[in-house]
Amino acid sequence: MPVRHARSAKTQVPSAKRHNTAATARDSRRARPASRRSNVGQRNSCEPFSPPEDWYEPTGAETDYQIKVQDPGDGFVHVLTPNDVRSRLAEMPAEFLHDLEVVQLSRMTRKKLCFPCYGMQWGSALYLYPVDDSYTETFYDPPQTTFVNEARMYGGRWTQEETTWTLHWSEAAIRDFYLNNILIHELGHLLDERNSTYVDRERYAEWFAIQYGYRGTGGINSRRPNRKVCRRHHSC
């Protein structure tokens, strides 16, 4: 597993909103994630530090956000489509999207496999990452209890064999997870202008995702077997 050395990315980003937060936990044959969330601004043994993504300079213009789509990479798929993203964000209060300028469906690269993640907020942009086209994730260190429970909330199924933990997603479950957890979690980071420490920012984004993602779409009642996920402002 790559050795990671902490290094803040705040000095790398030319913006007042400089906090980088990623959701880490996808499987690859070359990466071995232990937990889902971590600070993007870190070194690893694969590459020297470089900006984690394409940087979009905030313009402050009061225009609709853009969606940029990159090829996901061989063996990977984007969980959401641009229409999925627009439809879900359209359900959020308009003021929540005021500072959002770009949503990028990013490509998986060798460098990113060394620091696997589901999503990230950087400046005025949100980045969503592809997953293995098998919808299966393997962990070689015990996943954090909070992530185990969170994945189960959205329909992820865990199995364990000796020292390996495997997370199995159905297409519907991982789509729900991205729409109502990852996307909303990263939007929470974009809106958080009060907290400055990693722990406090994660705590706020997790609360935001539960409040506006999980509970906002019906909570456990809408995720029981044979029940579709309810959307706010829609009848089920």
pLDDT more than 70, % of the chain = 72
What does the pLDDT average to over 183-208? Answer: 96
Closest CA to 220 of 230, 235, 233, 232: 230
pLDDT > 80? residue 28: no
Q: For residue range 33-65, what is the model confidence (pLDDT) as tens digits?
A: 444 443 333 333 344 445 678 888 888 877 899
Six-digit token pair at 103? Answer: 């949503």
Q: Phi/psi at 86 (nearest 5 deg)?
A: -65, -40
Pairing relationship of beta strands 21-23 and 37-38 according to DSSP bridges? antiparallel
pLDDT of residue 30: 36
What does the pLDDT average to over 205-211? Answer: 96
- Assess contact for 118 and 147: CB atoms under 8 A: no
pLDDT of residue 224: 79
pLDDT more than 90, % of the chain = 58
For residue 176, the 8-state DSSP code is H
CB atoms within 10 A of CB 115: 20
CA distance to 3, 107, 167, per residue, from 76 (Å):
25, 9, 16
Sheet holding 164-168, edge to edge: 136-139, 164-168, 157-161
pLDDT of residue 22: 43
Six-digit token pair at 173? Answer: 């479950």
pLDDT of residue 1: 34
Q: For residue range 95-150, what is the model confidence (pLDDT) as tens digits?
A: 999 999 999 999 988 777 776 789 999 999 999 999 999 999 999 889 999 999 99
For residue 80, the 8-state DSSP code is S
Q: Phi/psi at 113 (nearest 5 deg)?
A: -65, -25
- Cα 182 to Cα 154: distance, rounded to the nearest angstrom: 11
Check the CA dihedral 2-133-106-84 and report its sign: negative
Pairing relationship of beta strands 136-139 and 164-168 according to DSSP bridges? antiparallel
